[in-house]
Amino acid sequence: MKKRVLLGIGSNLGDKKANLETAIREIGDIKGVEITGISSFYITPPWGREDQDEFLNGVVEIETDMPPLELLHRLQAVEINMGRERKEKWGPRNIDIDILLYGEEVMDLEELKVPHPYMRERLFVLVPLAEIRPDLVFPDDGAHIGEVLAKALRNGKENIRKLDNSPASAH
């Protein structure tokens, strides 16, 4: 049975917009994956380590019947094919693809935690997520995306700006 999966994508090296567009194409080329939604792209400050360039972030919605760990490995292969090197946690990267939500499932595996453990703190995830899934309810605690986003906006210090001519804003 197909699951609705939400992916966070980000880049802060090279041509960031081109990196995100390439990643989206590569994700769409994975056998058994259908892209069903793409958010606008957002310019955001770095998270975790501030001495690096701004990020460009977005959210991609897919449908797949691929098991979660297989999907994770396929997405990591996309990152590697695009030249991603995992040198340091929260360091600069040309592409980052995270599984945010996998259907209604809650997972706490060594390799994969769903919902993504930091997503509720990150405006660069919540803003594009709310854009394409304003009806979203988190599977672990039943919180609505609107409530979670409002709390993050109250607590957050991030300056987040929508990039003109990005996917959702181009229609």
Active-site option among 93, 122, 141, 161:
93
Active-site option among 25, 74, 96, 141:
96
pLDDT in tens, 70-86: 999 999 999 999 987 76
| Whole-number pLDDT of residue 156 | 72
Closest CA to 61 of 139, 134, 169, 142: 134
Which residue blocks in the chain are alpha helix, DSSP H?
A: 16-28, 68-81, 123-132, 145-155
pLDDT in tens, 101-152: 999 999 999 999 999 988 988 899 999 999 999 999 999 999 999 999 999 8
**Whether 84 is catalytic:** yes
**Whether 86 is catalytic:** no
For tokens 């996998």, what's the residue? 102
**Whether 96 is catalytic:** yes
The whole-angstrom distance between residue 78's C-alpha and the CA centroid of its chain comes to 14
User: In Å, what is the CA distance from 155 to each residue of 59, 120, 121?
Assistant: 21, 11, 9
| Whole-number pLDDT of residue 84 | 72
| Whole-number pLDDT of residue 99 | 96
Phi, psi of 106 (to 5 degrees): -120, 125
Helix (H, G, I), strand (E, B) or coil at 157: coil
With cut-offs at 50, 70 and 90, classify the pLDDT of residue 64: very high
**Phi-psi label, residue 8: left if phi above 0, alpha if psi -120 to 50, beta otherwise:** beta
Active-site option among 84, 108, 140, 154:
84
Q: What is the pTM for the complete model shown? A: 0.91
CATH fold of 3-166, please?
Alpha-Beta Plaits (3.30.70)
Q: Which residue has the higher pLDDT, 80 or 47?
A: 80
